[in-house]
Amino acid sequence: MTKITVAALQLAFSDDIDANIAEVSKLVRDAAKQGAKVILPPELFEGHYFCQVEDEGLFARAKPTGEHKAVKAMQALAAELKVHIPTSFFELDGQHHYNSLAMIDPDGKIMGVYRKSHIPDGPGYEEKFYFRPGNTGFKIWPAQDTILGVGICWDQWYPETARAMMLMGAQILFYPTAIGNEPHDPELDTSRLWRRAMIGHAVSNVVPVVAANRIGTENGQTFYGHSFICDERGDMLAEFGKDETGVLVATLDIDLAKRHRAAFGFFRDRRPELYGRLTQDI
């Protein structure tokens, strides 16, 4: 029976990269002590979520993968603790900028980089100013006798992201996130929608989902937490509310999820010849 213990981190961030790395590192250590082998920090934990505004000076935060402080720190920590750490960071590649994730293995090596495919653009989430759409395609990685798929924040709203990774062989889906209130509409609370979208991916793909979000208020924008780990039926195994700081840990039964997936027949009964419209522009 293949089982794996995974973790999601939830915390608030300052705009001091060294302080943030230290706080994330504490929680990673806590998760490892609880047996977690894959530990997911939130999106862009290097600082405040800077995409609230369009400021050309903020491009200076981007660094090449091998030079980024957050990536280097998580590499050292992963090697010490013998865990996988999917690490979100602001990537500079030549003249291009990406919202990226480095998958770091238990030897501290970078298995590969995924660049966020779907880039939002709206009040409080001005990401198209900073990031090019990812050019890596969706990615999966073998890890701890299973296969990990990772989408970044806005990717999590797209069923195509989850289904593509599943068709590639993913057995757990991870989503690091930075999401909170909507500056243009104070009455709109998307926290329920956010969770339901990903739980829908779990149910329709029969796959466990791990989501890590930040909390706290940054420049007037409040991030709502609600990080969670659910199983392949969409049932919650561990979850936070809007304020907790800490580590969510759950053990996933990969073989049982495989059996459930086969029994539901979602992949057996697919009709790809009917789905051409999905690849056409509106």
- Of 23, 37, 51, 116, catalytic: 116
Contacts 24+ apart (CB under 8 A), 234-238: 234/199, 234/200, 234/202, 234/203, 237/208, 238/8
Q: How far apart are CA 246 and CA 164, in angstroms?
A: 31
Q: How far apart are CA 172 and CA 150, in angstroms?
A: 8
Is 153 marked active-site?
yes
* Whole-number Å distance between alpha carbons of 276 and 40: 34
187 is catalytic: no
What phi and psi values does residue 266 have, to the nearest 5 degrees? -60, -35
Task: Taking the CA atoms of 255, 103, 249 and 29 in sequence, report the sign of the dihedral they define.
Answer: positive
Gap between the Cα atoms of 198 and 181, Å rounded:
18
Q: Which of 23, 37, 43, 91 is catalytic?
A: 43
Encoded tokens for 94: 């030549």
DSSP class of residue 69 equals: H
CA 153 vs. chain centroid, Å, equals 6
DSSP state of 266: T
The catalytic residue among 72, 153, 218, 232 is: 153
Active site residue 116: yes
SS3 annotation, 112-180: EEEECCCCCCECCECHHHCCCCCCCCCCEEEECCEEEEECCHHHHHCHHHHHHHHHHCCCEEEEECCCE
Q: Which of 181, 63, 52 is nearest to 129 (CA)?
A: 52
Q: Which residues are catalytic?
A: 43, 116, 153
